[in-house]
Amino acid sequence: MTRHVPTVFDGRLADPSDTVQGMRVRALLQVATWLLGRPGTLHDLLDLVNAQHFLESRETTHQRSSSWPTLEGFCRYLREPVPAEFTLAPVNSVAGLLHWRVLYLLAALLQPRDRLYWMEQFAFPPTVVESLPEAVDSHFHPDRLRRAAYIHGTMEDVLALGVEQQVVRLKLKHVMASFCDPETYQSSRDVDTFPPEVIVAVGIHPKHAANPKRFLTDALERLSSLLTNPRVVAIGEVGLGYSVDQADWWYQMKLLPKLLPIIRENKVLVLHCRGITGDNGMKAHLLLLHLLKPLSRQQRIQLHAFNGNQLVVGWWLEVFPNTHFSFNRSVENFTPEQVAAVVSMPEDLLLIETDAPYFTRPHMRFSAPAKIGDVAAMLAGLRGVTTPYILEFTTRNAINMFGEIPTGQVAL
């Protein structure tokens, strides 16, 4: 949130002091003065927000949301009534001005010079941000996440999703944005506008393999062009997915060889490999290994959403020793054989991902990069270490894998 909004609104201040609450009030009143052209009250600002009609959506902040204590606490500080539920369409309480969607709207309405002043004047406290552990979400789908969340905002809006429901507080050092649906490829110019912490993978998901030849030819040309952008550090996800209709398998095996000529050692190869629903995927992994043998033995590979066993790990490392294995929330449903692979894997080969919008918490529509701490906590439980330790070495592994990129870091 802190890229365009003062840190005094940081959601990690779960039990803010009166000093913090007072700064929040002053920050909001300053915005009211700028936007109204005169001194105004918080209720004036609330009326202005509702008049914009930019927050009309299906999302409502209900009593059971983790943001409830923050909003309730602000009501108590202001001696305002606490509603039965907090809503966003319309915003029904001045406490709703603290919701990240509202704050982003206010930031967007400000002039750039005023926004910069706002952020600098109401920055508090920087030590909170600096003390948080870093994390890398090594695989998520921003295009699919936008659809799941019913938003049409910027990449920064996507990265802000789920912050208020976050359990493990952290800083996102990098996120790997995977675009593997040709119809939602970004232009090279669009990629250049992404926040600096975003790195990009572009590929053709195996589910597209049965598309017409013209569709695939066009996708391959656009993919090759995007790979010239330095922000695109990986090709993927590509691979085999046998959880689909068996009639499509042949098309997948025909598509993959067409991708091999554009794969280069300076780009990470992000692989999707799934067996028939319900099996352990060993046959799919063996076939994929066979199809990829023309590649350099030194090719850096990320086996995304890995769910194989120790035997599969051994196969990949024998053929491609620079393979990393990436895990998400699916580990909570792993068999003992799969858990053994997680536990025995050398830590320098392990990555974590959300695969957002997939692998959600119960009763939630979507996952998001802000939830990467959940995955770290699950792996920590399986491996018998702490969550910060998992975050530390998976962040280091991701940087070694994808390369160090200057970052502004998203504080969550």
Q: Identify the pLDDT of residue 395.
A: 96
pTM as predicted: 0.72
Phi, psi of 372 (to 5 degrees): -60, -25
Joined tokens for residue 172 = 């996102």
Joined tokens for residue 130 = 């600096």
Q: Identify the pLDDT of residue 12.
A: 60
Domains of the chain by start residue, with CATH: 7-127 (no CATH), 134-411 (3.20.20.140)
* Contact between 312 and 320 (Cβ < 8 Å): no
Mean pLDDT estimate for the chain: 87
Mean pLDDT of 138-156: 91
Cα separation, 353 vs 201, whole angstroms: 14
Cα separation, 326 vs 398, whole angstroms: 10
Question: Reduced to 3 states, what is the DSSP secondary structure of residue 355?
Answer: coil
Cα separation, 58 vs 409, whole angstroms: 29
Give the distance from CA 250 to its chain's centroid.
32
| 68 pLDDT tier (thresholds 50, 70, 90) | confident
- Residue 150, number of CB atoms within 10 A of its CB: 11
- Residue 398, number of CB atoms within 10 A of its CB: 27
**Residue in 325, 326, 262 with CA at minimum distance from that of residue 294:** 262
Mean pLDDT of 33-42: 91
Whose structure tokens read 């330790």? 389
Cα separation, 310 vs 328, whole angstroms: 17
